[in-house]
Amino acid sequence: MTPSVADDTPRSKLTLSLAIVIILLLSIYPLPLWGQWLRPEFAVLAVIYWIMLAPFQLGMTLAWFIGLALDILEGGVLGQNALALTIIAYICALSHQQLKMFSLGAQSLAVLVLVLIYQLTAYWVNSLTGGSFESMMFLLPAVISALLWPLVKLVFDYVKF
């Protein structure tokens, strides 16, 4: 059996650390203004996958740390992404067995709902601190993330997460 990130080996820890760095870099890579609306939520996709894989080894603490790192890198409200990712990790941990049993299309639909919850939580916290948004375009990354889910799952399965 090949090791996965749920195992407690140096190779799996290195793989997980490298994946987190890549996810954070993809999340903050500068894009033109029109491209920012098309960026998938890589951190949410990774957290969903890892919770489905090993909900008790890679859980809400990892999601919280990834969210906190995103908050620091983006320079936004401290704890905004951490709270939203922790909520997503909790929902996934509660329903990880059902999510694993879904077909790929049903998983994509579940990912759409989970990313929408993530974005609405993040924008809710942003609005509490005085931020605002002009249109509903901020929900477009949820659709892009759901469409990208089969490819992300395929890549993560290939890398043996």
Q: What percentage of the chain exceeds 90 in pLDDT?
A: 63
Identify whether the C-beta of residue 126 lies closer than 8 Å to the C-beta of residue 76. Answer: yes
Q: pLDDT grade, residue 62 (50/70/90)?
A: very high
pLDDT > 50? residue 95: yes
SS3 call for 127: helix
Check pLDDT > 50 for residue 1.
no
State how far Cα 53 lies from the chain centre. 14
Exposed/middle/buried for residue 130 (C-beta within 10 Å: 0-12, 13-18, 19+):
exposed
Angle at 67 between CA 66 and CA 70, to 5 degrees: 90
pTM for this model (two decimals)? 0.90
pLDDT of residue 64: 96
3-state secondary structure of 8: coil
